[in-house]
A and B are shown apart, each in its own frame.
Chain A
Amino acid sequence: MPRPDALGHRGLLAGAALFVVFAAASLGAPWLAPHDPLGLAAGAGATLERPSAAHPFGTDALGRDLLSRVLWGGRVSLAVGIGVEALTALFGCAVGLVAGWYGGAVDAVLMRVTDVVMAFPSLVLAIGLIAVFERPGLDKVVLVLVALGWTTIARVVRGAVLALRTRDHVQAARALGASNLAIMTRHLLPNALGPLLVAATLGVGGNMVAEAGLSFLGLGAQSPTISWGALLADGQSFLASAPWVAVFPGAALLLAVLAVNLLGDGLRDVLDPRFRA
């Protein structure tokens, strides 16, 4: 069976290219942003200005340059999306490896917990968890998303481990007296990396949408921290008079999520032939 070539997969390429653009724009925000994203001194009477040559995305209610704010906001959105997923993958891997390798009662208990966490509509529970904290903030968003997000990865890794545990090389390692930890990290995990990578990539998009949603509701990033969700909350207030305040951050969010999803779907096609349509 011919393996689809990563370089020949259009969705994967488009997603990767778009993602690189967003990553570069976020990393380069300090140099690319034409104005200070927090600077209020864009000139008197420049509030809620239409998009123009000086301000390609227009200005917000305090006269701040929206392009600069969208660029800086991308840093937060991408950092939260990727950072949360890294922590999630770490925790999910640990749970999945232990549950899959030890099996029995350990597996049963861990999977029951996973089921319960999964039983909640995630954003509803995330909103509920934010209430635990004295005041909302981006750090709490990260904490909550990690606390709720690890289940998918745990399931994926556990599934892979179950399929691998009776393979010869794992049995051989065991017979040679390798410790449980060594088997899990050196023989099981590397072979589960494919599905893990796919799940993690798709997870990044989910995290970005969740962060934007919470920030939009006022339960995430608090001013002066800029995130696309918080920018959209501003946009909501000026929808009738200055629609560009809502249009540009949302379009950025949509494109970034689309990029990550295309990347994830593409990786799945390339790494896992079974899923190919």
Chain B
Amino acid sequence: MLFGITLLVFLLNAVALGDPARAAMGQRADPAALERLRRDYALDRPLAVQYATWIGRLARGDLGTSFREQRPVTEVIAERLPATVRLALAATLVAVVLGVAAGTLAAVRPGSVLDHALMGAAVLGISTPVFWLGMMLALVFAVTLGWLPVSGYGGGSLAHLVLPALTLGALHTGTVARMTRSSLLEVVRQDYVQTARAKGLPERVVLGKHALRNALIPVVTVIGIGLADLLVGAPLTETVFAWPGLGRLLVAAVGQRDLPVVMGAVLVFALVYVVGNLLVDLAYLLIDPRTRRAAA
């Protein structure tokens, strides 16, 4: 999988640049320097050799040099990554807390007004384009009410994080809420929940302790899938809120045709995605003992 991803990104670059060395050094580059660069990156050799050289550098953590900033791409990306990670974690937190709460509330009385209202909101959350939602939230809570800052990183202040996290988490919140609801409704029908009720346990304990814990297993899968949504939403959300993260770096780099940065950012996004899915699989082993036995 990772091989395929790197190959795709490499080909993208190979197609984009007529002469990568000239693109890197500009039209009036010194011929000797051009020659040296071509030799260093094996640009005078067949594509397969170029790919091998590039992978070799990649393995050593060398993503090349930014055309625009004339510094290592890894350095540029490392500066921006923490902001995106912070945003993504906050958005996941929003989605899990709000989504599970809304899904549970809706499942307590299926078919009630509250159920319909919450699930309607969930569908709306899934259909709303991320960036428009962000603008509308900023309009209401920042421009009109003045409770929160309109945009910016604010040196990492919590107030600046609220709106971007809500925006990025919204899509995901809807999915988690729908999954929690249907999973909980499924679990409630099972025998052991009936037993717990028959023992005379209060409904709060039955739902919270017996039902919800088991209902959350499929929800973890949805959270893993939702990671993709977070990555897709990051460039848009970061642009709306002037958030200094990897997504905005990618957009800016595309605008400036700074290809080493584009490649680096796309690779990091793909890597986060693959690693994230791996972590979800591992989380399964932790929360669901049945998979552990099956794996052993």
The interface bits of chain B over 232-262 (1 if a CB of A lies within 8 angstroms of the residue's CB, else 0) are 1011100110000001001101110101001
Given contacts A124-B269, A257-B129, contact A216 B236 (CB under 8 A): yes
Given contacts A121-B269, A243-B143, contact A232 B12 (CB under 8 A): no
- Secondary structure at the B interface, as helix, strand, loop or mixed, is helix
The interface bits of chain B over 117-151 (1 if a CB of A lies within 8 angstroms of the residue's CB, else 0) are 00000011011111110011011000100000010
On whether the beta carbons of A213 and B274 are closer than 8 Å, the reply is: no
Given contacts A131-B257, A213-B131, A254-B128, contact A120 B12 (CB under 8 A): no
On whether the beta carbons of A131 and B16 are closer than 8 Å, the reply is: yes
Q: Is A212 at the interface (CB under 8 A from chain B)? A: yes
Q: Which residue of A lies closest to B262 (CB)?
A: A131
On whether the beta carbons of A219 and B231 are closer than 8 Å, the reply is: no
Q: Which residue of A lies closest to B233 (CB)?
A: A123
Which one of A31-39, A56-64, A173-181, A233-241 is at the interface?
A233-241
Interface size on A, residues (CB 8 A): 42
On whether the beta carbons of A247 and B136 are closer than 8 Å, the reply is: yes
On whether the beta carbons of B235 and A217 are closer than 8 Å, the reply is: yes
Q: Which residue of B lies closest to A132 (CB)?
A: B16
Which one of B1-9, B28-36, B161-169, B199-207 is at the interface?
B1-9
Q: Is B76 at the interface (CB under 8 A from chain A)? A: no
Which one of A1-9, A68-76, A111-119, A182-190 is at the interface?
A111-119
CB distance from A58 to the nearest CB of B (A): 14
Given contacts A120-B270, A128-B266, A132-B16, contact A219 B254 (CB under 8 A): yes
Pick the 8 closest A-B CB pairs, nearest first: A116-B4, A250-B132, A121-B231, A128-B266, A132-B16, A123-B232, A131-B254, A131-B262
Determine the chain B residues whose CB is within 8 A of the CB of A243 once the complex forms.
139, 143
Determine the chain A residues whose CB is within 8 A of the CB of B265 once the complex forms.
124, 128
On whether the beta carbons of A116 and B232 are closer than 8 Å, the reply is: no
On whether the beta carbons of B263 and A128 are closer than 8 Å, the reply is: yes
Determine the chain A residues whose CB is within 8 A of the CB of B239 once the complex forms.
216-217
Q: Is A25 at the interface (CB under 8 A from chain B)? A: no
Query: From residue 250 to 296 of chain B, which have CB atoms closer than 8 A to chain A?
Result: 250-251, 253-255, 257, 259, 262-263, 265-266, 269-270, 273-274
